[in-house]
Amino acid sequence: MDEPFAGLDPQTRGALLYDAATALRSALTATVVVVHDRAESWALASRLLALIDGMIAAEGAPREPLAHPPTPEVARFLGFDGELRDGRDLLLTRTSYAQLDGEGPLHATVVGTTPLEDGARVELDLPNGHLSMLSDIPGPAIGDQVRLRLTGGVRYTVG
């Protein structure tokens, strides 16, 4: 199936994802579903293949590539959009890994906010990189200096 849920309203999409996931879990058949929405892949897959430039770049149970992306390119493909550098060390993070914390070890400047359905996406500049995080509404304002902590991420040695 190629993009079977594209163009559906959120309520219908959610219901069909649940029904499709249940139907696809048969041990007697295999089904290939092509999706470009990561949430759909986590909901449907018993095995996930990440293709980059037409080549398999990661594979495994759905949570395995997310927990241990083998390369920075795979991590970015899977939504690791925050980046901190320290020499050759590279830390990639997801929005869910950064949290405002008045006692946190990291200092950042808010450079953008985007309202979301249940909060705001906050873009942060740090001396050694850029992160995004989710915040309650209204969230910090552009230009605010904030402190935060990270609860996860993946490390690589580059270049």
* Domain range list for the chain: 10-75, 79-157
Q: Does pTM top 0.85 for this prediction? A: no
Contact 109, 69 (CB under 8 A): no
Query: Which residues are CB-contacts of 115 (< 8 A; sequence separation ≥ 6)?
Result: 137
Query: Which of the listed CATH numbers 2.40.50.140, 1.10.10.10, 3.40.50.300, 3.40.720.10 matches domain 79-157?
Result: 2.40.50.140
Contact 80, 55 (CB under 8 A): no
Percentage of the chain surpassing pLDDT 90? 53
Give tens-digit pLDDT for 24-50: 666 677 777 776 677 777 777 778 888
Averaged pLDDT score across all residues of the chain:
86
